[in-house]
């Protein structure tokens, strides 16, 4: 049955004050609905089927607002639910999935710290990639007086402007892992070999690097870290990423994203040539070409020849930047080995996983609520919806129901209809 409808239910109500106290003490209820309990409906948080809840969270992570998700759900399934219910369902399932991720992460972290983590001596003849990036999200301090439904905390709206919320920016850290044995390979019209990343897994966390690194390690281990001949960590060169690499992935070759380097070179050139395009553009192009050919020593000599007055026009020290990353910019060697030198895949993912859903105009998020949504989006983008969202949700909420009364199992059934 779909859409709005009305049903009459028979309730059992305690007949005396003593019975009322006994009932409250035994099952913490004021009344009992026998049919609800027989079918397990009383254990579902929103009195809708598990399949309906899963349909809701699918649309919430795929559509850029709760309001639009509500319209799409009604249009595609004829289920008419208000935004508050949709938001609450999505937050409940998102929190369930994220808690499961936390548990798996803690298991991996404990194993890592125990010294019992063993990698095979014979490695796969492929490369394993780890990419990381960060993007800011506008968050609000959660209201201390949250209410709950069926024991699950509810979130406030992403557009809330109430005074009890304090606005601040937090960084969402996004990781992606994949391996070259899952590349799709083909040749273009010119006979040049092309490749596309196939299987991949994302991990997204609104929080500090100390927590994110645990999730990234667990994600990497699940996808085969330590089983490949070479591990490559691609990033923008942030300090926290370098420290994480040294601690967790000491065998990895860190690569500074070439296009991030080129952007810094161009900005440096703009400053020292006072935005004169006829001068800064050709200079920056020459420097970038030399860096891509791993001629960084020549570039450093070129920079040392620049007049101090010219260098003082830029607050950014390009020479020091190159020296700090000297072990991570041997691009000629990397490309000869067939490695990626740009982190375009993770930057693109930041737009699809984070910005499309959580960075629309005027949106403000509680950290907890935002985390629940990016967790769901990460699972969808990683093609893990069945194993990491549907299965744990069914395990948590589906009820055998009515075994003792009807003699067989009934499960909530949800069915789409075609208009």
Q: Is residue 387 part of a domain?
A: no
Least confident of 71-80, 139-148, 191-200: 139-148
Which domain range does residue 308 map to? 258-341
Asked whether residue 314 is assigned to any structural domain, the reply reads: yes
Instruction: Using only the alpha carbons of the chain, give its radius of gyration.
Output: 27
Confidence category of residue 80, pLDDT binned at 50, 70, 90: confident
Residue 277 has pLDDT above 90, yes or no: yes
Number of domains in the chain: 1
Contact 252, 231 (CB under 8 A): yes
In this prediction, residues 383-404 reach a mean pLDDT of 78
| pLDDT above 60: residue 27 | yes
Q: What is the DSSP letter of 196?
A: E
- Asked if the structure places residue 277 within a domain, the reply is yes
Q: Would you call 125 exposed, middle or buried from its count of C-beta atoms within 10 A (0-12, 13-18, 19+)?
A: exposed
List Cβ neighbours of 259 (8 Å cut-off, separation of 6 or more): 342, 343, 344
The whole-angstrom separation of Cα 376 and Cα 202 is: 11
pLDDT of residue 39: 56
Q: Is there a domain that residue 291 lies in? A: yes
Residue 282 lies in a domain: yes
Residue 155 included in any domain? no
pLDDT higher than 50, residue 161:
no
Q: pTM above 0.85?
A: no
Q: Could you tell me the pLDDT band of residue 51, with boundaries at 50, 70 and 90?
A: confident
d(CA 42, CA 37): 6
Domain membership of residue 286 (yes or no) is yes
In 71-192 the beta strands, taken as DSSP E runs, fall at 124-140, 148-149, 152-153, 167-179, 183-187
Largest CA distance in the chain: 95
Mean pLDDT, all residues of the chain: 82
Local structure of residue 148 (DSSP, 8 states): E
334, part of any domain: yes
The SS3 of residue 220 is helix
Angle between helices 209-222 and 239-248 (to 10 degrees): 50
Name the more confident of 171 and 245: 245
Is pLDDT of 279 > 50? yes
Count of C-beta atoms within a 10 Å radius of residue 287: 24
Token pair for 152: 């699950």
Instruction: Tell which residue, 360, 363, 366, 355, has the closest CA to residue 166.
Output: 366
């Amino acid at each position: 049955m779909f859409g709005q409808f009305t049903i009459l239910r028979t309730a059992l109500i305690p007949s005396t004050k003593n019975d009322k106290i006994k009932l409250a003490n035994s099952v913490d209820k004021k009344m009992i609905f026998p049919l609800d309990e027989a079918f397990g409906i009383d254990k579902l948080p929103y009195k809708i089927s598990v399949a309906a809840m899963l349909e809701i969270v699918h649309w919430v992570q795929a559509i850029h607002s709760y309001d639009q998700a509500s319209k799409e759900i009604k249009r595609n399934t004829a289920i008419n639910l208000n935004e508050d219910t949709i938001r609450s369902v999505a937050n409940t399932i998102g929190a369930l999935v994220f808690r499961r991720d936390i548990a798996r992460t803690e298991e991996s972290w404990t194993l890592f710290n125990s010294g019992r983590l063993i990698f095979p001596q014979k490695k796969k003849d492929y490369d394993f990639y780890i990419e990381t990036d960060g993007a800011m999200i506008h968050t609000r301090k959660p209201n201390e007086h949250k209410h709950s439904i069926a024991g699950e905390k509810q979130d406030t709206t992403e557009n809330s402007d109430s005074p009890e919320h304090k606005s601040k920016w937090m960084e969402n850290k996004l990781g992606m892992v994949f391996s070259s044995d899952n590349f799709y390979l083909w040749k273009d019209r010119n006979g040049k070999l092309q490749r596309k990343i196939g299987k991949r897994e994302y991990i997204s966390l609104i929080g500090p690097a100390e927590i994110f690194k645990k999730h990234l390690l667990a994600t990497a281990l699940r996808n085969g870290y330590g089983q490949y001949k070479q591990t490559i960590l691609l990033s923008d060169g942030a300090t926290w990423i370098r420290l994480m690499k040294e601690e967790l992935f000491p065998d990895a070759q860190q690569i500074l994203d070439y296009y991030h380097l080129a952007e810094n070179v161009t900005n440096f050139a703009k400053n020292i040539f006072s935005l004169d395009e006829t001068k800064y553009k050709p200079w920056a192009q020459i420097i970038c070409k030399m860096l891509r050919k791993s001629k960084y020593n020549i570039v450093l000599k070129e920079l040392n020849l620049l007049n101090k007055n010219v260098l003082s026009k830029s607050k950014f020290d390009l020479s020091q930047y190159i020296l700090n990353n000297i072990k991570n910019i041997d691009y000629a060697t990397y490309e000869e080995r067939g490695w990626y030198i740009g982190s375009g895949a993770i930057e693109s993912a930041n737009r699809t996983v984070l910005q499309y859903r959580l960075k629309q105009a005027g949106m403000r998020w509680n950290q907890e609520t935002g985390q629940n949504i990016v967790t769901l989006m990460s699972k969808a983008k990683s093609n893990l919806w069945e194993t990491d969202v549907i299965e744990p949700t069914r395990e948590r909420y589906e009820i055998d129901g009515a075994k003792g009364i009807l003699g067989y199992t009934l499960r909530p059934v949800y069915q789409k209809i075609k208009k």
